[in-house]
Structure 1
Amino acid sequence: MTRLFRSLRKTLTLTLTNQIPIQQQSLCISSPSSHIIPSRTYISQMHKEAFEGNISRLLRNEIQYELQSSSSSNPPADKFGSFLVDGRPGERWITLKRQFANENIKVEVTMFDGAVPAPKKSGGVANADEVQLHITLIVNISKEDGDVLEIMCSAWPDSIVIKRLLVRANKNMTAEPYAGPDFEELDDELQDSLYNFLEVRGINDELAKYLHQYMKHKDKTEIIGWMEKVKSYIEKK
């Protein structure tokens, strides 16, 4: 996106000049006694059309670039283990659902919402530009009595990290329940047990890897869709 708008700013002035025919450019500098000077409204309309045409061209180039760069990547499967995946096109979230014994499990997953510097490589230092992308998961596990166990997690490229958990006694309750202490403050054995609790339900490091692959593809798809909508709006008469 940065490259798109840098290009727009750099080429706009030249485009505006080139878009005006030579004869009309001369009207602006010739003697008023020998030529009719175009009205300000007419010139403004020409500038507007040149500006919009340039945006449309730049968006078209960006869309083509994104399509070519993603042509070799296959879309991820809409199923992972026992989870069915709803990609929710046009949104920043996806949803995974499954049954486990008498539990309904729903996992709400953001697109990439953060990053940290990549860890140092063994025997050297990671490139300063290398980062690890971060995804947020909200795991909701409900039973027949209506209570919901909500577990907030982070998904790094190869691991799930629990951040906090709470029990919602009623899905429709308006007040936010007490969320308990930070997960890292709990007893180590209790932490391990809760990780095993999620592992049994298919929420594990393999899921983290799948989600990062899925979100990379979704991010590319959403960017292309966004640019196509903007281009369509700009070109609308």
Structure 2
Amino acid sequence: MSAIRALRQLSTVSSRSTVFRSTSFVARARLASLQVPSRAFSVSARSFGQGTADVALSNKLTEEMKYEKESMTDSPKEAADILEQFKAQGKWQIEDTSFNDEVTLTRKFGNENLRLTFSIVDIRGEQEDFDNEAASEENDEDGSQEEEVLNTYPIRVSLTVTKSSTPGSLAIDMMCQEGQFVVDNIAYYKEGSLATDLTAEADWKRRGIYMGPQFDTLDIGLQEEFDKFLQERGVDQTLALFIPEYAEHKEQREYVSWLEGVKGFVDA
């Protein structure tokens, strides 16, 4: 729904700016002609127990929530079906925490522990790029074009592979888009914890480590063997199709939760 939200916003931007420019001068002229005591403003604000803009903001938040919830009427069931089908495969365990940008997938493969993470931040970033591009195009794009935009968000994915029999680890950075993973880089750490440790000390140690070459500069045969290595561990087309679809539902869900949280705070 994020791309549809962007299109809806674009349709109102120009009209808002025109109205603002046309009314701002009149408003200033009216204010200049009025002799309003400063005490009247403070009494009004105190009588409401809040800022003068709070009511308008709260109403706008309610309007946005209403629109988003109506737009996602079937989304909860659809998202639940997608998740249920994914879990039924029995490969990956999913960790999805509300109000958290990241989703984590974990699984065991032999003596290996795999941890894959992706973030809905990438969807928001792509939405901003989409806004800039769409602003220069016709506003009468058909529905099929909108659907294409929705299904082509590239999402960064990080995969770490550790083994119980060795202290080392692999950290693999990839892009997930259009039903496939594109590997960007494969790093090897002698200390396995460096692949997953988020402390400042671990970050400092990683800065001085050779991260390996760009994946696409490797010998073609070596690239193909790495692809087979990943597919055997479940990093395959099925997963590449699931991640963007689930990320889109999560972004929409988090946006609605954000609207509800902000409105609750403003109204308190």
TM-score interval (norm. to shorter): 0.7 to 0.9
What letter corresponds to residue 63 of structure 1 in structure 2? M
Residue 157 of structure 2 aligns to a residue whose secondary structure is: strand
* 2:202 is aligned with 1:182: no
1:197 & 1:162 partners in 2: Cα distance? 12
Q: Is 1:64 aligned with 2:83?
A: no
Residues 112, 215 of structure 1: 8 Å contact kept: no
1:86-235 correspondence runs (5 A): 86-111=95-120, 113=122, 115=126, 131=149, 132-144=152-164, 145-170=166-191, 171-172=193-194, 173=202, 174-176=204-206, 177-235=209-267
Q: Distance in 1 between matches of 2:235 and 2:167?
A: 21
Change (3 A) 1:92 1:8: farther
Amino acid at match of 1:168: Y
Describe the shift of the 1:46–1:8 C-alpha distance in structure 2 as closer, same or farther (beyond 3 A). farther
What SS does structure 1 have at the residue aligned with 2:226? Answer: helix
Q: How far is the alpha carbon of 1:127 from its aligned partner?
A: 5.7
Q: Which moved more, 1:143-152 or 1:47-56?
A: 47-56
CA contact (8 A) 1:8 1:54 kept: no
Using the aligned pairs only, state the percent identity: 22
| Structure 1 position 38, deviation (Å) | 5.7
Where does the alignment leave 5 or more consecutive residues of structure 2 unmatched? 24-32, 131-143, 195-201
Structure 1 spans left out of the alignment, 5+ residues: 15-27, 118-125
- After TM superposition, give the deviation of residue 158 of structure 1 in Å: 1.3
* Structure 2 partner of 1:120: none
Counterpart-to-counterpart distance in 1, 2:115 and 2:258: 28
Q: Map Cα deviations across residues 180-201 of structure 1 (whole Å, 9 max, x no partner).
A: 1111100001001101100000
Whole-Å separation in 2 of the counterparts to 1:41 and 1:52:
15
Tell me the SS of whatever aligns to 1:203: coil
When the two chains are superposed, the root-mean-square deviation of aligned CA atoms in Å is 3.5
- Residues 156 and 111 of structure 1: is their aligned pair in 2 closer, same or farther, counting only changes over 3 Å? same
Q: Which one of 50, 55, 58 corresponds to residue 57 of structure 2?
A: 55
The offset of 1:50, in angstroms, is: 4.4
CA contact (8 A) 1:59 1:227 kept: yes
- Map Cα deviations across residues 5-32 of structure 1 (whole Å, 9 max, x no partner): 9699979xx9xxxxxxxxxxxxx979x9
**Secondary structure of 1:65 counterpart:** helix
Contact 2:112 2:163 in 1 (8 A): yes
Return the alpha-carbon distance in structure 1 between the equivalents of residues 47 and 92 of structure 2. 54
In structure 2, the CA distance between the partners of 1:147 and 1:216, relative to structure 1 (3 Å rule), is: same
The answer for the alignment partner of 1:20 in structure 2 is none
Q: Does 1:77 align with 2:83?
A: yes
Q: How far, CA to CA, are the matches of 1:37 and 1:198 in structure 2?
A: 69
> 1:226 Cα shift?
0.8
Q: Distance in 1 between matches of 2:261 and 2:210?
A: 42
- What is the TM-score normalised by the length of structure 2? 0.67
Q: TM-score, normalised by structure 1?
A: 0.75
* Matched residue SS, 1:146: strand
| Structure 1, 42-51 or 143-152: larger mean CA deviation | 42-51
Structure with larger RCO (C-alpha < 8 A, sep 6+)? 2
Greater Cα radius of gyration, structure 1 or 2: 1
Q: Is the 8 A contact 1:153 1:161 kept in 2?
A: yes
Larger CA deviation: 59-68 vs 43-52: 43-52
Cα shift readout 1:37-68 (whole Å, capped 9, x = no counterpart): 96341245579654211111111111111111
CA shift, 1:235, in A, is: 0.5
8 Å CA contact 2:45, 2:52 repeated in 1: no
Q: Which amino acid aligns with 2:205?
A: A
